[in-house]
Chain A
């Protein structure tokens, strides 16, 4: 029971099948669940194929059009070649965030290595596609035009570090928001149980306050879960846009 009240316990990684570094852990299980839910959601949502969409179908279409709109807005129609990647990223992050809000579940995106790996997928796509498409012209990304020669190395160094900071910023933002949100929720939920357990009836009455707070924070976390997925997607689109149009 001590573990249940520990706000850190929910981030623990436990091997379910097998042993060692590559064991199938709860984290892997929730990744699998995320993939299954996304696929199921989209397949069931699109199974009816009605002209006037039902609830699930309009949700599926909404997610499609939302991501498509974001891609078109940030990188134009040429950005649509990255649409499958961006859509997968958005759905994965969104579903992982939302699944994590259900009590007693594990949040895949609360582990920095996961968010960092996802952002590295974006950055590697940018770098590889950028060099493949534009060759050394891609390096113009780091050389702003109209900068005098003598401070160019300094500016270029800053630009390179700024570029390197992108995956960090991308992954830390998502990770930190998920982590902080879940710790806060856990702490407030812990207050409720602690107060009602230790002080009896009075504690139960007092526990209503943090309970209300916990409910409010849960609502806020739903917003954050969606917004973080959106921010992640939006920034991924903007970075991918750099691969499409580096400098001039």
Chain B
């Protein structure tokens, strides 16, 4: 009994072991068969087509509605809003750049103006200074000339004065000499003529 029981038990065990995969196999078959198509490859199982199309139509339609009515306007709002903002900022930057360029040009112009003005002032000053110096010089020269002339006149006058004094003395002396030598006074006019003649010599 015990000897035969061993193999019998193993057979039963083996049968039990075999039974499990068989059962699962049958189970899957029943599972697949439950949805028709005779266990066909699921994506080609035409019995599920109608249901899938129905649910797809429902959910895709829902998605389309949600997208077109809610989601896309929201995203578009943000994206377009930003695009507008960026465009606005760019325009602002462009405007500011133009402004700064204009300011730079104005600055350059002012600088150039100032430079030419400074040059004008410098040349004017130079002219004025040189003219002043000229005037000064001329005035001094004139003054000196005047003084020179005055001195010359004075010298001339003094000389004439001296000469006339000499003449008077000479006439006096000559008349005295004539009187002493000739003992008689000569006419004054003749003596004067003679003195003048000798003075002129």
A-B pairs with beta carbons under 8 Å apart, 11 shown: A2-B25, A13-B35, A27-B48, A38-B66, A39-B70, A43-B70, A43-B71, A61-B79, A85-B64, A111-B52, A117-B57
The residue from B28, B62, B67 contacting A87, defined by CB atoms under 8 A apart: B67
Q: What DSSP secondary structure best describes chain B's contact surface?
A: helix
A127 at the binding interface (Cβ < 8 Å): no
A142 shortest CB reach to chain B, Å = 28
The count of chain B contact residues (Cβ–Cβ below 8 Å) is 42
Contacts of A57 in B (CB 8 A): 78
Interface string of B152-167 (1 = CB under 8 A from A): 0000000000000000
B98 at the binding interface (Cβ < 8 Å): no
Within the assembled complex, what's the spacing in Å between the Cα atoms of A60 and B76?
10
Q: Is the CB of A113 within 8 A of B52?
A: yes
Q: Is the CB of B78 within 8 A of A13?
A: no
Within the assembled complex, what's the spacing in Å between the Cα atoms of A32 and B62?
9
Within the assembled complex, what's the spacing in Å between the Cα atoms of A91 and B157?
130
A51 and B52 contact, Cβ closer than 8 Å, known pairs A35-B62, A35-B63, A84-B72 = no
Q: Is the CB of B43 within 8 A of A110?
A: yes
A25 at the binding interface (Cβ < 8 Å): yes
Within 8 A of A (CB), among B22-80: 24-25, 28, 31-32, 35, 41-45, 47-57, 59-60, 62-64, 66-68, 70-72, 74-79
Within the assembled complex, what's the spacing in Å between the Cα atoms of A23 and B54?
10
Which of A3, A51, A84 has the most chain B CB atoms closer than 10 A to its own CB?
A: A84
Contacts of B41 in A (CB 8 A): 8, 11
Contacts of B31 in A (CB 8 A): 12
Q: Is the CB of A87 within 8 A of B48?
A: no
Interface string of A132-146 (1 = CB under 8 A from B): 000000000000000
Contacts of A35 in B (CB 8 A): 59-60, 62-63, 66
Within the assembled complex, what's the spacing in Å between the Cα atoms of A179 and B53?
19
Q: Is the CB of B72 within 8 A of A46?
A: no
Q: Is the CB of B71 within 8 A of A114?
A: no
Interface string of A50-67 (1 = CB under 8 A from B): 010100010011001100
Within the assembled complex, what's the spacing in Å between the Cα atoms of A111 and B40?
13
A91 and B48 contact, Cβ closer than 8 Å, known pairs A24-B55, A61-B78 = no
The residue from B47, B56, B71, B82 contacting A39, defined by CB atoms under 8 A apart: B71
B85 at the binding interface (Cβ < 8 Å): yes
